[in-house]
Structure formats: structure tokens, C-alpha cells
Amino acid sequence: MKEVIKIEGGHRLNGTVRISGSKNSTVALIPACVLANKPVTIFGVPNISDVKSLMVLLNELGVYVEQKDNETLYIDPSNMENIPMISGAVSKLRASYYFMGALLGKFGHVQIKMPGGCYLGPRPIDLHLKGFEALGATVDYENGCYILHADELVGTNIFLDISSVGATINIMMAAVYANGRTTIENAAREPEIIDIATLLNKMGAKIHGMGTSTIVIDGVSNLGGCLHEIIPDRIEAATYLIMAAAMADDMVIENVIPQHLESIISKLKEVGIRMEVGSDFIRVTGRSNTLRPTEIQTKPYPGFATDVQQPFTVLLTQAEGNSVVTETIYTERFKHCYELNKMGADIDVRVPSCFINGKTKLYGTSVTATDLRCGAGLVVAALMAEGVTEIHDVYHIDRGYDNLDGKLKKLGAKLWREKV
């Protein structure tokens, strides 16, 4: 038996939705906590399945984890053991690779199975491995496992060929205990990196320059415990902004950092969405009579986020005219287009772009969430569609959206889950 989400389209959205803590921060913050030698408490943890998978991995390492309430995690790594990470839980999420940097930094040795996650085309971890090698680690691959070892990690200059978020965070975590200074050039600048560096600095690390393309880490000998609140999820916020643009009369998205959403806000205004941007909220009050087509090119932060491309493509099916979306980060990120075409969209995929011919009416049918953000896009489409849409493989959606059903119902959407 598998679970599906059914959504009856055509219901207008009104009211307020509160954005949860950042999924992309959380999945790196939790592994980062093992670098401490005393307890760490994290607030604002989203209730998503990726967090549950990470808690299983922490338990396997002998780390004590307690969920204090819905949004608070207490993590005590003082009795942890560096055992091989080869269980099925490792394969459930890509973010398990953050244990590479954390365990290599703390113990100088890690054995870990190849991590899992959504398939979005080639997502090599060679940049991570090159960074570890530059710090003095050896990298071997045996029986589907990476084995990393270093008698001593030594600070060095590392230039990333691509400004990868995962590699930036992983190298940063390995370098906090390294001997001397590590400089990461062409580092990614995403807000989540600032969040992880802030946590590590609260523990006692010495990291400077996060949020710029040059991050400097001076190694320390010990990291202690701390309290930390996760930043709001900018991708969840963008998803609800797009839902509001599609179906809302008057909707407020609260607990947001508007600066993190500038590229999305500007593109929504460009296509004709009316909004008021506050200090920690955005209010959407409808749109101009005709939605205007546009061109989008995904870029690393602060450019247009690849994670928002799929939901935004759905909105553009309702624009009068032809829109073009070009994907520069994950070339395979167009599987949602084939699902949308089943619903009546007219999208021509020619990698690395898709060409959206609007405006087309969408009709409810059976579709499949092939990955997390495809699932988010299909929810947006279902809200707009005539009739009932049945979304399969909803576990992808549950990996990244906290209480999607409850939040949408409160806004006036009609949806439910069934076992099939």
C-alpha cells in the first residue's frame, strides 16, 4: 500500500502561512553537531522525513538525540563512536554525505556508503573529495563505501571549480579541527552556509567570510555545545509565494527573510503579481488580469534558485505567451514537465531548457512526484487544475515540506491522503 495526496483544484487561498526552519540548513546542521564535545540544542527544526532519517544515523553513531518538542532537537555527541556508516538509513538521503566532513574533522577517519537522495542528473561529490585530499586525507572506494583517512588534517588553500553548496559546507566542517588556516575560494554564498558557519562559531570555531566567495577557517582544538535557531526555509517560502501567485486573493507568508528571496520576488513582480514585502513577511494580493511570460535562468545564490524552478514553471503555464526556463545547475530537473503535460500543459523540453506555451487550462489526473521539488510543482498545478489530481510517490514531498497538508487546508485548499 502506498500513500497518495488527492487535491481538488479551484479553491481560492486566503489567510496566513508560517514558514518552517530551512530544510537545506537542517540537513547540514544536524551532522555538524557531532563536531561538538558537549550537547547542542537546535530550535526551529522542520518536521520532515529527512530529519527522522538523520536522527536514525545519529543514534547509530551512539549520539543521544531527544526531540524536546515539535521544533527542538537536543543532540549530545559526548559518547559517540565512529562506526562505519553502512546502514540503509545512509542511502535514504543525500545529506548523509555531510557526515564525511564532520567525522573526518573529528576523528580523522570515516567509512560511509554512497549517499542517496533525489536523482537530478549527475551530482558528483568529487569536489568534496578533492577538498578532503587537499587537507591531507586519503580517499579510497571499496565495496560501495568511501573510506577517508587522515593522521592529521592541515589547513590549506582550496579553490572550488564550481561553487558547490555541499562541498563548501563539507570542507568547512572538516577544516574546523585542522591544524592552521584553511581558505576556500569560489565558495558558495547561500544563506544556509552562513547558518552552518554561525552554529560552528557558536561552538567555538573560527570561521570568517561566510556569505562571500572566500571563507577562512582557523583550526581549533575543541568545540563545545551551544543553542542555535535555524533560519526560515527560503525554498518553502518561495513555494508558498508561487501558490499564492497562482490561487490567492489575499495571503500572508510569515517567518521569512525577504533578502533571501529577492530573485524570486523580482520575477513574480515581473510576471504581474501584486505583493507587499515587510521585514519578516510577504503579502500577496492577487495579480494583474493577464500573467506575463518571462525567461528564467537558474543560478547559484543570489541568482534564481534551481529548487524554485519546478514550481515556477507551473505558474508560467498560466502566462499569456511563451516562457523559457533554462536550468544551469541540475540538467535533469525537467521531469515535472512531462507530468504537467499530462494535466494539459504545453511544455517542450529541450535540455537544458524548457519552452512553456501558455496559457493552457490544467485538468486533474494521476501524476507522480519524481523528486522533492517536482512534487511541490505538482501541488501548485493541482491547486489550479479543474477536478481532482492524484499525486503518487508523496514521500518525496514529505522529505522537504513540513505539514504541507495542514498548512494548505488552513489556507482553504481541499486535499486529503489515501492508501492505494
Residues annotated as binding site?
23-24, 94, 123-127, 307, 329
Cβ atoms within 10 Å of 256's Cβ, excluding its own: 26
Q: Of residues 118, 226, 337, 354, which has the active-site annotation?
A: 118
Cβ atoms of 94 and 118 closer than 8 Å:
yes
**Other C-beta atoms lying within 10 Å of the C-beta of residue 350:** 9
Q: Which amino acids are annotated as binding site for UDP-N-acetyl-alpha-D-glucosamine, given as ranges?
A: 94, 123-127, 307, 329
User: Which residues are bridge partners to 363 per DSSP?
Assistant: 386
CA gap 253, 241 in Å, rounded: 7
- The H or E element spanning position 282 is strand 281-287
The CA distance from 197 to 208, in Å, is: 8
Which of 107, 110, 108, 79 has its CA nearest to residue 96? 110
3 state DSSP class of 73: strand
Buried b (16+ CB within 10 A) or exposed e, 100-133: bbbbbbbbbebbbbebbbbebeebebebbbbbbe
Contacts from 49-54 at CB under 8 Å and sequence distance 24+? 49/395, 49/398, 49/399, 50/23, 50/26, 50/93, 50/95, 50/399, 50/400, 51/26, 51/27, 53/89, 53/92, 53/93, 53/96, 54/27, 54/30, 54/93, 54/95, 54/96
Q: Is 374 a catalytic residue?
A: no
**Residues 370, 336 contacting (CB under 8 angstroms):** yes
The grid coordinates of residue 128 equal 568534496
Which positions are catalytic? Answer: 118
